[in-house]
């Protein structure tokens, strides 16, 4: 299956450390050779990079790794193809507009049947079950709420109910963001960690890379990272349970 990486922070933050670990799993130390992508939210805009080549061998991935692209919210994905051809249009994360915002989506897993998911506002460009589900989720949101609800918790519970239904169709681990909140749903496997003062050192599991976050941050920084599997081997990650929905805002997990 594919692997996911997400970040939410209260200040623009560099994700190069975590992305370096994920890159190695894309054809290096892992089987996810069928493309990768990453999206950085910058203000109201969103900078995205996609490549159908393995991330471990991708010059585009190395460009992203070398440059300090700071963001409040990041979503990244490395693909092991199950449904759909290996091509650029099938490379996550996918994006659509809703309520005047860029929504970004990445999925890990495989659904047995998406024919029951009726699409009326958005259509997929590629032929993956993941993009079909994304179009369905946003279509359902747009139908239920033509205008954004003033109470943001309404969106959370609406998404959680629909994700619970999708979980019955197969494996559905998901990252979704509107540039303000990062919604994370666990069907089988997802872990997360929040880093804040006092910051310590971290060591990647998949590369010989260490960082002292105390030298890279300020005492007020709060950064949360979500991944299919923990990316470091000397930190304590929280393991989500099947059916859990985690919502991050400015690096903080909302209750």
Distance CA 183, CA 158 (A): 12
Over its length of 255 residues, how does the chain's per-residue pLDDT go in tens digits? 578 999 999 999 888 766 766 665 544 445 556 788 999 999 999 999 998 887 667 788 777 777 778 899 999 988 766 766 788 999 999 999 999 999 999 999 989 888 889 999 999 999 999 999 999 999 999 999 999 999 989 999 999 999 999 999 999 999 999 999 999 999 999 999 999 988 877 877 656 556 767 667 788 999 999 999 888 888 899 999 999 999 999 999 998
**pTM of the entire predicted model:** 0.91
Q: Tell me the CATH number at 197.
A: 3.60.20.10
Judge whether 135 counts as a catalytic residue.
no
- Pick from 206, 201, 253: nearest CA to 229: 206
Task: From the candidates 2, 163, 184, 186, give the one annotated as an active-site residue.
Answer: 2
The CA-CA-CA angle for residues 173, 252, 14, to 5°, reads 80
**Number of domain units in the chain:** 1
Residues pairing with 38 in the sheet:
49, 76
**Residue 84, domain extent:** 3-253
The 8-class DSSP code of residue 26 comes to: B
Distance CA 173, CA 243 (A): 9
Scan for tokens 């759909």, then name that residue: 84
State pLDDT tens for residues 69-126.
889 999 998 876 676 678 899 999 999 999 999 999 999 998 988 888 999 999 999 9
- Cβ within 8 Å of residue 72, ≥6 positions away: 8, 9, 10, 11, 12, 13, 41, 179, 250
Burial of 194 (0-12, 13-18, 19+ CB in 10 A): middle
For 163, the 3-state DSSP assignment is helix
Distance CA 122, CA 246 (A): 25
Report the residue count for the chain.
255
State pLDDT tens for residues 129-145.
999 999 999 999 999 99
């Amino acid at each position: 299956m594919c692997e996911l990486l997400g970040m939410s922070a209260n200040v623009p933050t560099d994700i190069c450390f975590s992305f370096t670990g994920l890159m190695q799993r894309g054809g290096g130390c892992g089987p996810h050779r069928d493309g990768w992508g990453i999206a950085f939210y910058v203000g109201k805009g969103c900078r995205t990079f996609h490549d159908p080549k393995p991330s471990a061998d991708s010059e585009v991935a190395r460009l992203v790794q070398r440059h300090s692209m700071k963001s409040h919210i990041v979503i990244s994905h490395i693909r092991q193809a199950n449904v759909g051809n290996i091509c650029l249009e099938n490379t996550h994360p996918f994006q659509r507009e809703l309520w005047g915002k860029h929504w970004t989506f990445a999925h890990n897993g495989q659904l047995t049947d998406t024919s029951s998911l009726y699409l009326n506002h958005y259509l997929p460009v590629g032929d993956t079950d993941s993009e079909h589900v994304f179009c369905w989720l946003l279509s359902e949101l747009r139908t239920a709420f033509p205008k954004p609800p003033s109470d943001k918790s309404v969106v959370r519970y609406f998404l959680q109910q629909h994700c619970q239904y999708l979980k019955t169709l197969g494996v559905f681990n998901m990252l979704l963001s509107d540039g303000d909140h990062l919604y994370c749903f666990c069907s089988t496997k997802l872990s997360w960690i929040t880093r804040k003062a006092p910051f310590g050192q971290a060591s990647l599991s998949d590369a010989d890379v260490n960082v002292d976050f105390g030298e890279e941050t300020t005492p007020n920084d709060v950064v949360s990272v979500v991944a299919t599997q923990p990316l470091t081997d000397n930190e304590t990650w929280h393991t989500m349970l099947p059916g859990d929905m985690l919502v991050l805002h400015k690096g903080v997990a909302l209750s």
